Amino acid sequence: MTQTKLFDYEKRMIKEFSEMKPIVCDIVIADKIKKLNEVENGRVL
């Protein structure tokens, strides 16, 4: 792979990841909420 092709590939990956990011954040937030609920219920994993 040439340097330019590699750079274009990285830019595309970054763009795709930034579009995906809200979904990733939702998953992380949901996981944190689940953990908090488990702590409140006295089931600390």
Residue 43 pLDDT exceeds 80: no
**pLDDT per residue as tens digits for the range 11-38:** 888 888 777 777 777 888 889 889 888 8
What stretches of 1-45 show up as alpha helix (H) in DSSP?
Answer: 3-40
Q: Which residue has the tokens 């937030």?
A: 29
Please enumerate, as own/partner, the contacts of 15-20 that have beta carbons within 8 Å and a separation of 24 or more. none
What residues contact 43, with CB distance under 8 A and at least 6 apart? none
Higher pLDDT, 42 or 45: 42
Q: Which amino acid is at 25?
A: C
Q: Using CA atoms, how far apart are residues 13 and 3, in angstroms rounded to an integer?
A: 15
Global confidence as pTM:
0.41
